[in-house]
Chain A
Amino acid sequence: MRKTMTIALKDLRAYFVSPIGYTVLSVFLLLTGWLFNGLINRYIMITMYYQQMGDPSAFRDFNLNTQILTPFFHNMVFVFIFIVPLFTMRLFAEERKMRTDELLMTLPLEDIHILMGKFFAGLSFLGIVLISTVVFPILLVIYGNPDVGPIFSGYLGVFLVGAAFVSVGLFASFTTENQVVAAIVSFVIFLLLYLININVPEAESLLKSVLMYLSLFDQMDSFAKGLIALPNIVYLVSFCVLGLFLGKIAIEIRRWR
């Protein structure tokens, strides 16, 4: 555990002694903030429209949670697709580029230490990214009265999706020494999983159920609405574990050579 933590701390520190960490963080905040502000403006416009129409029944499903928070969490996952590859690509590919990988592999460390250390570094950075977005729900609580339960479930969902992305990004980083290739591979995998449900067949079938189940958007939807369901958690955790498993195999294959 101590060995894992050492690696994790070293890599986490690396994010903040180079401009990469700050750039990723600020770009992420800028994007989510921009989208959040768009949601607020849209909400205010629709409220005004309904008030002019004088139709109180229209308000039944129209509240801060359904109109701002649910799409806010979906937006965050969407921005992750572009941002996570940027900070996972360097996790191992950087070592190769700097030729420190040989050194790392010859240290008295097991593969699992290297793997988990890198993973925790990415995960901690993800945590920092998420904490920095808390300002948005806080602004909502200050000015409005949203239902708080769904904020917790939303963050849990976003964190699990993020963790799954980090593990896949880490795997991509183990497979190549070119950071750009690592980023593109993870980006394509995320985007494909996010959009997999747009081409489902019309009719009910096994294929349709499987595709709908694999879709990250659908898996995220319950969390964003305030529902924590076991299948969603199991799916995201398995996704994460699979990424780590593939990463481990990638290291093993390196060792054979």
Chain B
Amino acid sequence: MPLRFRPLLFLGLCCLAFGALFIFSSQTVLVLYSRVNLALGGLCILSFVAINAHSLKTFFPGKEARRFSETTVYALLFVATLAALNFFAYRHPVRADLTQEKVFTLSEQSKALLSELRSPITIYAFVKGGQNARAEDLLKTYHHYNPGLVRYELVDPNQRPDLAEKYGIRRYGIFIVTDGSKFRMAEEALEESVTNAMLGLLKTRDRVVYLLEGHGERGAQDGGEEGLKTFMDQLEREGFRVKSLLLASAEKVPDDANVLAIVGPKKPFLDEEIERVKAYLDKGGKLYLCLDPNTQTNLEPFLANLGVEAGNDIVIDMQLRLFQGPVLGLDPIVQDYEMHPITKSLTGRTLFSMVRSIRPKGPLPKGVSAEPIVKTSPASWAETDIHRVLEKSEATMEEGKDVQGPMPIAVAWQKGDARMVVFGDSDFLKNALFNRLFNADLALNGMNWLAENTTLLTIRPKGGKAAFLFLTPAQIDTIFVFGVLIIPQLLFALGLIVWDWRRRG
């Protein structure tokens, strides 16, 4: 007896196959599609079997039915074995790196660090369009050495603004290593950079910044234009803990301080306070200092002893005004940076407001290095007659009294483990200016340089063997002739000859 309603069988099979495609989907529409299909498919096949129950018995006589079921079981077992093998290999990715520079092999330091992992970490690469072969290869390599605990993801910051916001991503090419609560940033797609970030995450406790109070400094919680809340929030996001400190009532700068920050004091410091700051620096402390012009804080002589001069002046420089173009003013826009870890990643200008000059004061004490890192334009000068500028809004460059630019307005200072960054301005950190131009980068790089782990690893960058090709036009044509033309030409000819020979028998 022939089978009836055969289309039911085919319709049912198609529904089952398409339904199975999205069985694990998490999207509502697809899940609905999948379930409807599976149900429909099941219904069709059941009806088909029910309608043809009698014919099917004769269609599959005993022997064939047994063979059929045997083969099915056999095939399923076979596929399951293959899947298991693949899963096993996936979990045990043994491999051989054939590149001369060992591009897909991590250094011993990185391998040791990865083998010490106890809890999972995730590495995010924030790259354009979420795709970057170099970044992916690098992260795959990390994943390879500890597949159970290292996860990675390439993220387009525009598609995941939540992540970009969370980690304060301001440009492409940033890597974030995180254990879920803390994170560290790596700025380059290099093993050295990523491994050091991982080291920072695993080996160091939270970095603590003490923000000094009591001399009219800018407030950490102040969300108004003049406050530092934006800066402090960003520091918290980058793994710092910010605490406040009243030095007059403290015995010393606390031992857990990684950085002491003094931002925009207006009243003079007491001698005891200066002693405590000095004692902290002598022990290898790190100081982040921003001094505005037209203030006397008593810190100036202390700085002079260390080899840094905070000028009693105000810098007049070019500034850009709407519809006026560049004019001289008190809000310099700066783009002249010296080579230093703090300024290395700055690719654009920073904006200051009312700046005093800060420069190394020679001869420097023994063992001290002090480098200017930010300079105003050559047209600028350090005006010493501050009152005339502020009260009458007048300024002229007077030889002998004033100093012609470029004027250094920030200095990075180092003596042994002790480090200090001095800026001649605190306005560039205030909420109103912090996110303008590259101010945030300059501010955070300074803090990161101070709080840097001094036991960083150096790993030679690898980028594949440098292999190049320089060809003359004749050589290009030779490649074309030998690569593209000659062999196919001979083969075509041979093919024609064979074809003709066969045809004639």
Asked if A136 is at the interface (CB within 8 A of a chain B CB), the reply is yes
Are the C-beta atoms of A234 and B86 separated by less than 8 Å? yes
**Closest B residue, CB atoms, query A235:** B86
Q: Judging by beta carbons under 8 Å apart, are B480 and A231 in contact?
A: no
Q: Which of B107-161 contact A (CB under 8 A)?
A: 134, 137, 151, 153, 159
Q: Which of A225-243 contact B (CB under 8 A)?
A: 225-231, 233-235, 238, 241-242
Count of residues in A whose CB is under 8 Å from the partner chain: 71
Assembly CA distance A61 to B463 (angstroms): 6
Q: Assess A40 versus B479: contact at CB under 8 Å? Given A22-B495, A59-B466, A64-B467.
A: yes
B492 at the interface (CB under 8 A from A): yes
CB neighbours (8 Å) of B93 from chain A are 229-231
B496 within 8 A of A: yes
Interface window among B7-15, B201-209, B361-369, B482-490 = B482-490
CB distance from B61 to the nearest CB of A (A): 11
Please indicate the chain B residues that have their CB under 8 angstroms from the CB of A29 in the complex: 487-488, 491
> Do the beta carbons of B467 and A63 come within 8 Å of each other?
yes
Q: Report yes or no: B25 in contact with A147, Cβ–Cβ below 8 A.
A: no
Q: Which residues of B contact A227 (CB under 8 A)?
A: 95-99, 104
Contact with A229, one of B71, B88, B94 (Cβ below 8 angstroms) = B94
Docked-complex contact A146 and B484, CB < 8 angstroms: no
Verify A147–B79 contact, CB threshold 8 A.
no
Question: Whole-angstrom distance between the alpha carbons of A47 and B151 in the complex?
Answer: 36
Contacts of A252 in B (CB 8 A): 71
Q: Is B82 positioned at the interface, with any CB of A under 8 Å from its CB?
A: yes
Query: Does A217 have its Cβ within 8 Å of any Cβ on chain B?
Result: no
* Chain A positions within 8 Å of B480 at CB level: 37
Shortest CB–CB separation between residue A24 and chain B, in angstroms?
9
CB pair A16 B96 closer than 8 Å: no
Are A18 and B464 neighbours in the complex by a CB distance under 8 Å? no
For B79, give its contact among A21, A68, A242 (CB under 8 Å).
A242
Within 8 A of A (CB), among B37-95: 64, 67, 71, 75, 78-79, 82, 85-86, 88-90, 92-95
Residues of A within 8 A of B92 (CB): 230
Indicate with 1 or 0, residue by residue over A16-47, a CB within 8 angstroms of chain B CB atoms: 11110111011101100110110011011001
Indicate if the CB atoms of B487 and A37 lie closer than 8 Å. no
Say if the beta carbon of B476 comes within 8 Å of chain A: yes
B465: min CB distance to chain A, Å: 4
B492: nearest residue on chain A (CB-CB)? A26
Query: Contact between B64 and A143 (Cβ–Cβ < 8 Å)?
Result: no
Interface string of A196-227 (1 = CB under 8 A from B): 00000111111100000100000000100111
Residues of B within 8 Å of A124, CB to CB, are none
B30: nearest residue on chain A (CB-CB)? Answer: A201
CB-CB contacts below 8 Å: B448-486 with A:
461, 463-471, 475-476, 479-480, 482-485
- A140 CB within 8 Å of chain B: yes
With A29-B491, A207-B25 already in contact, 7 other A-B pairs whose C-beta atoms are closer than 8 Å: A16-B498, A63-B466, A144-B469, A146-B467, A230-B92, A234-B85, A234-B89
Binding site for A on B (CB under 8 A): 24-27, 64, 67, 71, 75, 78-79, 82, 85-86, 88-90, 92-101, 103-104, 134, 137, 151, 153, 159, 461, 463-471, 475-476, 479-480, 482-485, 487-489, 491-492, 494-496, 498-499, 502
Closest 4 CB pairs of A and B: A22-B495, A149-B98, A33-B484, A26-B491
Residues of A at the B interface (CB closer than 8 Å) are 16-19, 21-23, 25-27, 29-30, 33-34, 36-37, 40-41, 43-44, 47, 59-61, 63-66, 68, 132, 135-136, 139-140, 143-150, 152-153, 201-207, 213, 222, 225-231, 233-235, 238, 241-242, 245, 249, 252-253, 256
Offer 7 A-B interface pairs, CB within 8 angstroms, sorted by A.
Answer: A18-B498, A26-B487, A64-B467, A65-B465, A227-B95, A228-B95, A231-B86
